[in-house]
Structure 1
Amino acid sequence: MTELVICDVKEKVCTFTLNRPDKLNALNAESFRQIAAQLDHIDMSDIRCVLLKGAGRSFCAGHDLDDLASGAEAGLIERLEAGVIERLATLPVPFVAAVQGHCYTGGLELVLAADIIIASADAKFADTHAKWDLVPVWGLTQRLQRRVGRAKAMEMMFTSRTYSGEEALAMGLANICVPADELESETKRLCRDILANSRRSNCAMKKLMADTDNLPLAAGLAWELYHSEGHGPEMQAHIEAARGQSRRR
C-alpha cells in the first residue's frame, strides 16, 4: 500500500509528512485512515513534539475533489476524518505545522489543529468551501475564528480569497513567516527550542489552556491556581545548573 502519510519518529520528534506530491498532497479518506492507524501505534509518552508537513512544493491543496465526487466522503467517513483532526488538535504535546505552497480548504482545516504554524513567505492560505458549494465538517467554522477572529474568518470563508504567508502572519493565522529557502531550517530550530524545555511543563500548560478555553478570566485564573501541576522533579537541578553557570561567568 502506498504511504499517503509518512510517520517518522526521531530524537523525540514525531513527524507526519503528507505524501501525495503529485496531487499537491490533497487529502482523501485513505490519508485519514493512515494517520489514525499511525496515531494508534505511537508511544506518545516518549514524544516531546509533533510536526506536520507536506512533501514537495505544497503543504496541502485541500480535499481530493475526485474523492468528493465519488461520494466516498458521506456519513461515517466524514466523521472519521473530523475525528482524526480532533485527535491531532488534542495531542498532549506541542504540535507544529510547517506550511509551504498551497494550504487550501481541507488543508487549512488540518493545519488549524496545530498549536504553532510556521509558514514560508510563498505559502498560499485559502478557504474555498463556498467556491465548490460545500460547508465545512472538519472544524473550520470553529477553529478559524478562534485563530484569526470572527470578522477575518468570515472574510476568508465568504470570499475564498488567497492569503500569503506574510498576510497569514499579520492576521495571526501563522505564528512565524520565513523565506521559502529557510522553512526547513527554521522549523528544525523551532522544534529544538521546544525540545530544550520540560516536556512535563509543556504538556501541563497545553492542558491548562485546553481545560480553560472560553472560560471567563476569573474562572480561568481560579482553575489554573487549583489545577496547576506546579513544581516538577527536575526544577531544583535546573536552578543549581543555572547558578553554576552564573558563578563561572
Structure 2
Amino acid sequence: MSNMVLIERKAGYAIVTLNRPEALNALSDRLRADLNAAMRSLAEDGDVRVVILTGSGRAFCAGLDLKEIAEKGFPKFGDADLADPVRSVASFPGPVIVAVNGHAITGGFELALAGDVILASENASFADTHARVGAMPGWGLSQRLSRLIGVNRAKELSLTCRFVPAQEAERWGIVNRVVEPDRLLETAEEMAQAMLATAPGMIERLKAVIDDGYLLTLGEGLALEGERAQRFNEGARPA
C-alpha cells in the first residue's frame, strides 16, 4: 500500500487519512484501491471496532480525479467496480466516523455519506457537482442524500451544484455536529472511545439492525428488530 492512505491504529479504533493533499485528496485509481484495501484490512482486524475517516490538507475529498478521467474515462460502477471506496466504507462492520476537515465534493460527498456519523469542521463544505461535470452519480449520492435530507432539498443541491457550508449542513441533517477545526479529530476520537465503552459486540449489532431495518418498511423493520432481540436476548444478561 502506498502512502496515499495512512492508517494509525489506536486502542480499539483506527484513524484512516486520505493523503493526497496536493490534489485535494481526489480519488485516483491508486487512492481508491488503497482505501479499499485499507478498509478491508481493518474489517478483518478484530482489534479495530471503530474507524475514523478523514483527509489531509484543506479538503476531505474532491471526488474523482478529473485529470485521470480525461485520460482513461470514468471508472466502472456497481458490482463491476472492484475498488469501490464507498462500498468498502459502508460495509465496515463497526461504526465509521467521518471527520470532514474541508471540501467534500461529489465523489467525496458520496464517500462521507457512506459513514455512520459525520463530524464537520467549521470550514467544511459539501457539494454535488455531477450536473456541472456532466456525469451521473454511481456511488449512491442520488439515493442516500434524498433519504437523509428529503427529496426536495436533495434535488436543490444536485440540480444547482451549490456548496453547502458546515453550519447549514448541520441544520439540514447532513452532519451530526460542527466543531472548531483544531478539535475535529479530538472530537472524533472522543466519540470513538464512547462507542468502545459500550458492552462488547453491541455497536456492531446495533449498526446492523439499524442499517438492515432502514431498507424495509416500518412494519418489516420492527419484525426484524423483534427477531434479533429474541435471538440475542435469550441468553444475554445486562452488562
> Fold match, TM over 0.5?
yes
Residues 126-178 of structure 1, C-alpha deviations (whole Å, 9 max, x = no match): 11111111111111111111221111111110000011111110011001111
1:243 — aligned with what? none
CA offsets 1:206-231 (integer angstroms, 9 cap, x no match): 11122222322222112111122544
Q: Label 1:77 to 1:31 Cα distance change in 2 as closer, same or farther (>3 A).
A: farther
Tell me: CA distance 1:201–1:6, structure 2 relative to 1, closer, same or farther (3 Å).
Answer: same
3-state SS of the aligned residue for 2:9?
Answer: strand
Provide the C-alpha distance between the structure 1 equivalents of 2:57 and 2:220, rounded to a whole number of angstroms: 45
- What residue is the counterpart of 1:21 in the other structure? 21
Match of 2:60 in 1: 59
Distance, in Å, in 2 between the alignment partners of 1:77 and 1:3 is 27
Contact kept, 8 Å, 1:29 with 1:73, in 2: the verdict is no
Q: How many residues align?
A: 237
User: Which residue matches 2:191?
Assistant: 190
Q: How far apart are the structure 1 equivalents of 2:178 and 2:129?
A: 22
Equivalent residues in 2 for 1:125-144 (5 A)?
A: 125-144=126-145
Answering whether residue 72 of structure 2 is matched by residue 86 of structure 1, we say no
Task: Report the Cα offset of residue 232 of structure 1.
Answer: 9.1
Structure 1 position 103, deviation (Å): 0.8
Distance 1:183 1:84 in 2: 22
Offset at residue 77 of structure 1 (A): 9.8
Please report how far the alpha carbon of residue 91 of structure 1 lies from its aligned counterpart in structure 2 after TM superposition: 1.4
Gaps of 5+ in 2: none
Separation (CA, whole Å) in 2 of partners of 1:49 and 1:233: 26
Answer yes or no: is the 8 Å Cα contact 1:96–1:114 preserved in 2.
Answer: yes
> Residue 173 of structure 2 corresponds to which residue in structure 1?
172
Identity %: 35
CA contact under 8 A between 1:16 and 1:53: conserved in structure 2?
yes
What letter is aligned with 2:39? L
- Which amino acid in the other structure matches residue 11 of structure 2? E
RMSD of aligned C-alpha atoms?
2.2
User: Is the contact between residue 7 and residue 16 of structure 1 (CA under 8 Å) also seen in structure 2?
Assistant: yes
Report if aligned partners of 1:108, 1:127 keep a CA contact under 8 Å in 2: yes
Q: Which moved more, 1:199-208 or 1:153-162?
A: 199-208
Aligned runs of 1:26-175 on 2, under 5 Å? 26-42=26-42, 43-75=44-76, 79-80=80-81, 83-175=84-176
Alignment deviations for residues 32-57 of structure 1 (CA, whole Å, 9 cap, x no partner)? 11122223433332222011000112
**C-alpha contact (below 8 Å) 1:120/1:178 kept by paired residues:** yes
> Would the aligned equivalents of 1:29 and 1:72 in 2 still touch at CA under 8 Å?
no
Larger radius of gyration: 1
